[in-house]
Each structure stands twice: as structure tokens, then as C-alpha cells.
Chains A and B, each alone.
Chain A
Amino acid sequence: MSIEIKQQEKQSNGVGYQSAIGVAVVTAVFSIFIILLLGLNVYHTKVTDPVRMAELEKMKEQAKAYPADQILAQEIQQLDTQLRRDQFARLYFLERGTILLIVTLVLFTGSVIWAKSHRPGLPRPAPQGDLKTQQIQHASRTRLAFIFGLVLLCAGALFWIMHAPQMPAGPLYTSMDHAQSQWSAFRGPGGLGIAEFDTVPDTWDGKTSETILWKSPILLPGHNSPVVWEDRIFLTGATQDKQQVYCYDTQTGKLLWQRDVSIPVNPARDDMDIMEDTGYAANTAVTDGKRVCAIFAGGDVGCFTVEGQLLWEKHFGIPESMYGYAASLTWFENVVIIQWDVGYEGEESKLIALDWQTGDTVWETKRPVPNSWSSPTVVKIDGQYRIVTTASPFVIVYDPKTGIELYRVDCVYGDMAATPIVAGGKIFTIEPYNKLVAVDVDESLPRDDEQTRILWENDSEMPDICSPLSNGQYIWTLTTPGNLSCFDITDGSKLYTQSLKMTFQASPTVVGQRLYLLSEKGTMLLLEAGPEYKEIRRNELGEKCFASPAFQDGRVYIRGDENLYAIGKSE
């Protein structure tokens, strides 16, 4: 009797029976389908392929008779390939199909056995019990379980919230496009000496403090230029024993912070060849608005946040440099770029890219040049940022992302101090005292024929320190003894030379239609940026100046021998 009940219970599962029947039907249909396909496969192998094989053999016989018949050979090859392809496809299908067939047949048999042993009988509903209590319990359980699930879900969400990663509020590194509105490196954007601001003061007087907003003392000497990012000015100063980075407030001139860059113990420092005109801090610092990085004549690099927190230091060792290492830094997105041109044989020089944040070397490229004093510039050429450098005898252009040299031109010799500029699709570089050279920036030109890149040269009196300047139409050069020359950018023809009768070390700047020339004595000459010499006015600062000025909208920042000046109208 009990066996009978058990049997009935076992058989009562109608769903299992139905499902088993379903599986049996599906697997049977599927098996038949596979068998048909396999049969078709065998038919092709046994009937179709031999015919094609015979055809192939016939063609091969023909080919023996006509060995030079290329078309026939090609046809044989095609048919042979096709036959092999088909054969492998059939073998593949055969293997997979057989496995599939076995699996489905096993499933079919299993489901038939299952269905037979689970044929459904009539359901036997259990006694109902107290329906009222059941209903109340049922609803109560559902609510409780639902609330429990809800609480679990919320707890999961809260856990997830607590462990949510911090999303970037902004970029860690500044893009070059953003930097175009700032004076972040030597001579401003692209190192071009062009201040694209609407209002820049043109009148001031250091004696009467007219238009001088503030004047702040600089603790240590240096010929480097100030760099400006929004409300902060950065510059450096150094002596043989101390080297510092300074941060000033643009509004008040208050020294916000000063930080030392350490000097490693090195006896060679006492024997460094540092000219008085160069000093220990001729190299202009760089900032990307988040950090400031400075290098000194002793090869020591320090990087700080704009708040003055030290990020890293790096010491390259005392550079072998005839007048003292003076190249300014430049930067590109996530790297600070150092033109480390040292030594006399051209074997130690290199271009180095250090990570802004960590100081790690991102890339390093050897340079076949001796020591130089020129600075690298990062400038946009044909939509791509490029590093332009010059050192005897080459102008070399690099990719700032990788440091790969793109092209070089053998065109200038001597002790290179002037920084090259890019204007009107040309690179302009100066051979000290001798000539101005225009180089084509077209990267599609052959690399092995360097001379095709030289568009024109003008043998003329050229500066040894001051960098050239262009507004895209004319190019101006300014020698240390004060000879200002103007050339046509298209063919290099000289338009005028004017003796200014004063000495210059600061590189000139173009602001709108005016040239700003800062003499060693602190006189700022304002000239018309045209093909003829025309002086507009002179502003006296009353303090010696060696550094190129920095510009901001409505402001000029001039580093004097001892003080930093902010010139502009008070807001």
C-alpha cells in the first residue's frame, strides 16, 4: 500500500513529465536535423568532391603538358585551395556535429526514460488547514521579507557609497591650450615673446611710482624672468650657497612663500664656471598653475606645488658649461622639459622630460650638441605641439609626447644663447653675431636633405643673448649693444637697423602693435611694430634689469636687480 502511494506521489509531478516530453521532442527533432546535415556532408564528400578532384587531376595533367600556362596554374591553385577548404570545413562540421548528435541523443534517451517514470497521476491536494490564519501569516511574511530585502538593498547601496572612488575634480595636469592665456614659461606662450592681452600699461615711472602697483624685494639675485599664473608670480634666486624659489601675490606683491632647493655636497661646485652676467639663477622657472619647477646653474631641480609644498628634487650634477648653465625650463602637459646641453664633445647633452608630479623621467633623448645657453620652447606647429631647440650647429625639433627627434637642420654655429621662435610657418634662429636663419617646419620634407629646410639666411649683425621677436609679418633682432634690426619674414630682407645707444640683455616682447624693449638700465622703450623705426615713448624704472619682463592682462611684471615690480592700474 505504501509503495502504491509513493508511486502515485512520484507520478504526480506533471510539470516534470511535460518538460521531459518537451525535451524529448526537441532533442529528437534536433537529432534528425543533425543527422540530415551529416548525411548531406557525407554526400558531398562521397559524390561532389570526387568529381571536383577528378577535375583537378585533369587540370594537373594539362598543366604538365603546358607548364608555362599561368592561368591554368592559377586555376589549379584556386580549385585546390577550395577543395582543401571545403574538406576541412566538412571535417570540422563532422566532428562537432557528431559530438552534438551524441549529446542530443543522450538527452533524448534520458528524457524519454524520465518521462516514462514520471507519468503524471492526479494531483492529491493536501488538507487546507485554517485559511484565515494562513492568509494573515502569508501577508505578514511577505511584508517582513520585503522590508528585509529593502533594508539589505539600502545597506548594500550605503556600503557602495562609502567605498565610492573619488572622482577627478579636474585634470592633474594642465593642457597646453589652457596655458595659452598665462605667462607660464620664459617669454610666455610658446616662448614667442608675444603678449596677447587687450590692456597692457604703456606708461610708468619708477621715480615717481606712477602706475607702479607694488614693488617687492627679491631675496637672492638671479637673471631669470618671472612667470605668472593667475594670481601668483614665481621666480628664483641663488648664490653659490643657497638657491630659492619665490612665490608672490600678484595683487599685493606679498612674498607668499620662499623655498630652498637643496645643494648636494659636491667639491666641484667651488670650481663651477659661472660668469657674473649669468649667475646661479639665470634659468627661468615654469608653472602649470598647479606646480612650479625651477632649475639652477648647479643642475639642481626642485618642484613645488603652487602652495609651496615640495613635490620632488632632482640633482643632475654640476654641468660642464662655459659661461654657466642658463637654459630655462619649458613644459608640456604632464612633463617638465630640460635642455641639458653640457660638455664640449656633444656626447653628454640630452633633452629630458620629467613627470610634473613625481619627477620620474618620462623620456630622455640624446642630443649631438655641445654646451649651449638657449632654452627649449614648446610651440604649436600645424596643429601639433613640438619642442624646438637650437644649439651649435643644429636646430632640432622633437615630439613632446615621446621625445622622438622629428628633424634637424645644420645651420648655426657658435655659443647659442638666443631661443628660437616660430612664426609664419618658419622657425627663426640666430647664429650669434652672424646671421638670421629661417627654417621650414614642414614635416613631410625629407629628413636626409637638411638644406632643403633652410628657406633663407641673412648675414647681418646678430645678438648673442637676446632672442628674436616676430609678429608674423616682421622679425626683429636686438643686439646687446643696442642695435635693433627689422627683417621681412617672407624673404629675410632687412628693413632697418637702428642704434638705440643702450645695452640689452632682456629679450624684447610684442604687445599688440608695440614692441617693448627693456634695457639694462631699466628703460622700457616702446616702439611701433612696423617696417620703420618709430619710437613711441620711454619709461624709466630706475633699476637695472637683466630679465625679460612677464605680462598679464593689464599688468607688466619686471624683475629688477633687487626688486620685483608690478606695473598697471590699480583696480
Chain B
Amino acid sequence: MSYVIEGKTGSWEIVVGLEVHAQVVSKSKLFSGASTTFGAEPNSQVSLIDAAFPGMLPVINKECVVQAVRTGLGLNARINLESRFDRKNYFYADLPQGYQISQFAHPIVGEGTIEIELSSGETRKIGITRLHMEQDAGKLIHDQDPTKSMVDLNRAGVALMEIVSEPDIREPEEAGAYLRKLRQILRYLGTCDGNMEEGSMRADVNVSVRKAGEPFRTRCEIKNVNSIRFVMQAIEVEAARQVEIWENGGEVDQETRLFDAARGETRTMRSKEDAHDYRYFPDPDLLPLVIEQGWVDALKAALPELPDAKRTRFQSDYGIPFYDAGVLVAEQSVADFYETIAKGRDGKLAVSWVTGDLFAALNRTGKTIETSPVSAEALGKMLDLIADGTINGKIAKEVFEDMVETGEGPDAIVEKKGLRQVTDTGVIDAAIDAVMAKNADKVTEYRSGKDKLFGFFVGQVMKETKGKANPALVNDALKAKLDG
């Protein structure tokens, strides 16, 4: 293992498993028709079912089932044709029913795998234990009144997928890579927007430490960590805390902890003694969820191309390196942008423009690929202008910057600024003659063997033609004249 904690008594490895709560992208909630839009007025998206009024009953939303099954398929996981819903009972003000409807004993998705890539270039497979559907809770707001807490039930009943990994993770970096890869897959599938800041993806982190070859030791669960960076930090500090306890002859207690990012430490939230008894039992309001293999197969056939497959295809279709392909497929929108440009054009040239000039421009202007001032079509057209000799690579940079600034198309800019490449040999010859006349001494030097000066003459001719001369034509004509 590359990541070890060196303690007084030797080396320790860490064992990590992640439980990710991913909010399902769906128009309405898991068991009600209320909308799921983020950021609406408090309690404006609450049905009588979500507020658990007397006599209200849940009815499963098919769209959420579709999303869960698609996610399972995207994780190469087993789809369970029969799954069940259970009630997880506890009291809290954000939980109107007094229970969360979840899938405890019979989840809709079973074992699967995710392949992650580390910065070393090495890849690893992380096992998925299961994926199940459950309801999200509402939200308590504590800063509206000095003595009261307020409840917003907009989120209550929204569908979540809980995706549980095997305890296969051995490094903080692997945890980060796992979360990034999982988020990437969810976003490709369109089953979760993966937005950790808005809470639509949250992670519970299970951490334990052990000496090499030992069985697992007691683990602690760090609840609700809301960024990838914090997950990695939390693992580091929690593992260090546990090593210290073991090495001082103590015993790690199985408990639920919170990560305090500001202080860089984890703290007890609930000890084992205070653990809830959730009194799980099958929800008698819902029948077992039975789906058919044919239906699953149809969903599978309609899945979009996922990042790993796309990366491989980009390599072979566009002849670009593995690394570049990885950069492009990290976000589906970037991959799509690239592919719009690369299709039927020079794939290598396209990748250098996208990951070079375009990314730099987006960075500089604070935009994203979705809000890019230069559309994929426009950038493609610009590459066409290079390919057909209308502009050269140098002028292209100027055209591109103008496109970023004005949002105009490359044709219009070339016309407006008169940037069309000069291919008229008469004009080029005249420019060469003028340069040679102005620099008679250098011509003599060149002709007496100082052929390094060739570059100087090229530069001068380009300057004379305001950069618009076709460089190949300049080269040929210059060589002929100087050597003649």
C-alpha cells in the first residue's frame, strides 16, 4: 500500500467505505406528485403526503425507479427484479411521517463496481455493495427566530439513492477518485446532478485502521461530509486519531462522528449507546416493487455512452492520447463540445484548441463550457478556416480572442478585420523584394553561408504582410529568391 500511517508500533493502513446519498433527478418526489425544484420558497413544494397528513398514502414514482435502475446499470451492478420498501422509524421535526421509507432488507440494486484512476496513472476497482432508494428529510432552519426553529419540507420526500461501497478504499486519494468517478457517472446518466454544495450529493465515510494482514478493526462513521476535499481530509485526521488511540492502548469506539473542517478534526456525534433503534419493518402501505428483465434491458440499451467507453472511443476515433481523452470526458458537456468540433476535422488540433485556448479563455472570463462565449460550431468553423488556408495558425489566435470578446463568428471577424491569408504570390514576391532591398547587408551575410538568418527574413516578410501571408508560400518563395 502506498498510503500508510507510520506509528510508534509500526505501519498502519486505512480501510474506508463510503455511503453516498445522491438526490435523484426527477420531476416529482419519490412517493408524491410534489415538485423537486431546488431553491423554491420554503414549504411551497409540499403535498399532503409529504406533510404526512392523516390517511395519506405513498405511491411509488416510476421516474425515480427508472433513475435508480439506470444508475445501477451504469455501475455495472446487479438489478434486483423484486425489491421492497421498509420504514425506518425515528422522531425528528424534519421527518413528517415519523419514519423514512427506505429499502433495508431488499434494495433495488445489488453488487457492482467502479473503476478509479489515481494520479500515478494506476487504476483500481472499488466494489459497490448496493444501491437503494429512500426519501430525503426536510430541513430545519434555526436562524429565523431567537427561540424557535422553522421547518422547510420542500426537500421532504425527494428521492435519494444511497450508494454503498465495499470497504475497498485504502487511501484518501482513492476516496476522492471514487467520489469523482461516481459523480461523473451519475452526471452522465443524468440521475443526479452531483452538486455537493447544494447537498444533492453527500457522503458518509466509514473509517478504520489496521496493521497489514489483520482483520478489520472497529470503524467510525463520519456523517454528511459535503465536499470531496473534506472527505479526504476527514479520512486523514480520523485515521490518525484512531492510530493514536490504538497505540496508546485504548480502544476505538464504534460511533457516529462529525467532521469539523474549520478545526480539521472529527468529533463524536452519537456514541453506540445513543444509537437509534430504527425499528425497521416492511412498509405495509407499499407492495413489493417488481420490475421485468425486459424493461431493464430496454433501459440498458438506451443508456448514454459512459465516460470509460467514451474515453476509449475518443482515443481511437480522433487519434488523441489517453490523457487528453480523459480530460475531455471528465465532463459530458466538454466531451460533447469537443466531439462537435472534432467530428470530420483534425481531432488533435481540436483537442489542443479546446484544452488550451478555450479552457484558458473560460478561466479568464469566469465562464463554463455551458456558458462559453464561443460555441463548438464557431470554433469548428474556425478550424475549417485554418484547414482551407483562409487563415493561418497565428491569425487564428487573434480571430479566437476576438470571438471570445465579441461572440461573433470567425468568418465575420476575418472579413471585418481583413485577416484573410495572403496567397497571392505576386503580393508575397513584392513583400520579399521590399524586405531584401531594405536588408541588403543581411542578404549578403545569408548568401555567404549564415543560413540561420532565414528565420529573420521569414519574420520580416510576415511583418510586411501583417502576418497574413501563407507561411508555406513565403518559405518557398523566399528560399528561391535568396538562393537565386
A, B assembled together: no
Partner-B contacts on A (CB < 8 A):
none
Partner-A contacts on B (CB < 8 A):
none
